[in-house]
């Protein structure tokens, strides 16, 4: 995950990713790294888009536009708990040619943060956790300056702690040894090798480290691991039968699973690296390790905004936001594991996620009655950013706005359509 350089001090090669944050509803990503893994080329991913009858033309347009910039497949769901229109385009699995389905499971990336925040707020309701207590109360001796960092600061990204996914060495190791399973303690050690971005409570910067620490607190207070907590306290009560915490890998990744791909965009042909077998739970943790599908994500975020999983007091806490920086490429705020997005068609709530192979968004109306869930199954994976990266995220941002407009039944503004249909960058001049 990344944010603008003047917010968290990440290196310029990651600044190109700023646009995707929150506009695509913030994700968990380790893009910008190369790999020697076997790749397949663009010619295998040219399947014709197919859409479920009854789907809006807007979402067909979004699917075509997203696939044009790299992902081999795209799925979407717009509706309520019980009624929905669905879009499915392209491929779920390049190797077999299996087509994508709007009921496929996928890595939800940082949508996981909303799950983690819900679990924390449930403990607040039980009197086991205090939002404004210092982290050192729960994890003594673990976090530098932990006496001045509160649980709330972890959940709304105002702690100032460096994000481990912004560390170049971590990304190199992830690329070279993609099957490595990192412990939570190893991940935070990567983060704590860096100075904080600012003093606690004195700024805002998106940091995966915050939610790894939140997960450690949850596990210590309950004596349960994250997989059990997600299952017992969220999935089972809501009847989410296809949602679980990868511990450490996704399971049952055959038919019904949307493979995720790192896509190299810089060359004359795209190259795709299948990351479906990589252990997202072994480096994403409580910041990004949940697997789900569009129906379950819709149900979950609807339940969150209706206050079905905790008290009204905790929903109010969750929706109390810190405004995003003025120079951020979108308008909105960040609550406790929940984003307020002031989109081109209105204010909505939710989150999103980027893993090595997925770019997903889940957004809902304030009352939870309407939801939109989308996933494109690729993320830029070149060794260095390039103009095609910029174009990918320009289209992705516009796709999010257009999807919200479709959910709300409003026309898509011309400015959004312009970005959605923007031309790809011209090839670099050769000498």
Answering whether pTM is above 0.85, one says: yes
How far is 216 from 233, CA to CA, in rounded Å? 17
pLDDT at 46: 37
φ and ψ at 41, to 5 degrees? -100, 170
What pLDDT does residue 383 have?
A: 80
Q: How far apart are CA 372 and CA 77, in angstroms?
A: 6
What is the structure's pLDDT at 330?
A: 78
What do you get for the CA distance between the two ends of the chain, in Å?
Answer: 35
Give residue 1's pLDDT.
31
| pLDDT-flagged residues of the chain (< 70) | 1-56, 428-431
Active site members: 110
State the pLDDT at residue 234.
98
Could you tell me the two tokens for 430? 């050769």
CB distance 338 to 362 below 8 Å: no
| Superfamily in which the 5-420 domain is placed by CATH | DD-peptidase/beta-lactamase superfamily (3.40.710.10)
pLDDT for the residue 45: 38
Q: Is 192 exposed, middle or buried (0-12, 13-18, 19+ CB in 10 A)?
A: middle
Structure tokens at 122: 């449930």
Evaluate whether 260 touches 377 at the Cβ level (below 8 Å).
Answer: yes
Burial label for 148, CB within 10 Å (0-12, 13-18, 19+), is middle
Boundaries of every domain in the chain: 5-420
Task: List, in sequence order, every residue forming a beta bridge with 102; answer none if it has no partner.
Answer: none
Angle at 258 between CA 253 and CA 259, to 5 degrees: 75
- Residue 411 burial by Cβ neighbours in a 10 Å radius (0-12, 13-18, 19+): exposed
| DSSP reduced 3-state for 130 | coil
- At residue 429, the pLDDT reads 52
Q: What is the distance between the alpha carbons of residues 175 and 184, in angstroms, rounded to a whole number?
A: 19
DSSP 8-state secondary structure symbol assigned to residue 73: E
Joined together, the tokens standing for residue 145 give 């300056």
Distance of alpha carbon 33 from alpha carbon 19, whole angstroms: 18
* pLDDT the model gives residue 56: 61
Cα–Cα dist 384/178, whole Å: 18
CA distance 99 to 90: 6
């Amino acid at each position: 995950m990344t944010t603008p350089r003047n917010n968290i001090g990440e290196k310029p090669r990651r600044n190109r990713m700023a646009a995707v944050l929150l506009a695509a509803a913030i994700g968990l990503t380790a893009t910008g790294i190369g790999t020697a893994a076997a790749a397949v080329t663009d010619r295998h991913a040219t399947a014709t888009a197919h859409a479920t009858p009854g789907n809006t033309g807007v979402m067909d347009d979004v699917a075509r536009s997203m696939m044009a910039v790299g992902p081999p497949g795209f799925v979407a769901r717009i509706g309520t708990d019980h009624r929905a229109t669905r879009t499915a385009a392209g491929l779920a699995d390049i190797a077999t040619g299996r087509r994508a389905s709007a009921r496929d499971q996928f890595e939800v990336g940082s949508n996981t943060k909303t799950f983690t925040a819900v679990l924390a707020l449930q403990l607040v309701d039980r009197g086991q956790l205090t939002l404004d207590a210092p982290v050192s109360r729960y994890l003594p001796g673990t976090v530098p300056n932990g006496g001045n960092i509160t649980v709330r600061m972890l959940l709304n990204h105002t702690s100032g702690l460096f994000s481990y996914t912004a560390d170049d060495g971590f990304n190199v190791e992830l690329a070279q040894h993609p099957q490595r399973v990192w412990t939570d303690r190893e991940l935070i050690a990567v983060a704590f090798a860096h100075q904080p971005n600012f003093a606690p409570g004195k700024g805002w910067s998106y940091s995966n480290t915050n939610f790894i620490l939140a997960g450690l607190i949850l596990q210590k207070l309950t004596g349960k691991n994250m997989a059990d907590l997600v299952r017992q306290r969220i999935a089972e009560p809501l009847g989410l039968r296809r949602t679980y915490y990868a511990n450490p890998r996704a399971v049952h990744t055959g038919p019904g699973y949307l493979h995720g791909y790192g896509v190299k965009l810089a060359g004359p042909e795209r190259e795709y690296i299948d990351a479906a077998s990589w252990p997202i739970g072994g480096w994403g943790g409580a910041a990004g390790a949940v697997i789900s599908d569009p129906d379950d994500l819709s149900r979950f975020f609807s339940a969150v905004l209706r206050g079905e999983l905790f008290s009204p007091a905790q929903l109010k806490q969750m929706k109390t936001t810190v405004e995003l920086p003025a120079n951020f490429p979108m308008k909105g705020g960040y609550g406790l594991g929940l984003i307020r997005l002031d989109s081109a068609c209105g204010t909505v709530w939710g989150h999103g996620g980027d893993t090595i192979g997925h770019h997903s968004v889940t957004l809902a109306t304030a009352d939870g009655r309407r939801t939109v869930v989308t996933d494109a199954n690729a993320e830029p994976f070149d060794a260095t950013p390039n103009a095609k990266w910029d174009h990918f995220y320009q289209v992705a941002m516009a796709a999010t706005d257009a999807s919200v407009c479709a959910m709300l039944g409003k026309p898509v503004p011309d400015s959004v359509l312009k970005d959605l249909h923007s031309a790809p960058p011209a090839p670099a001049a050769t000498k």
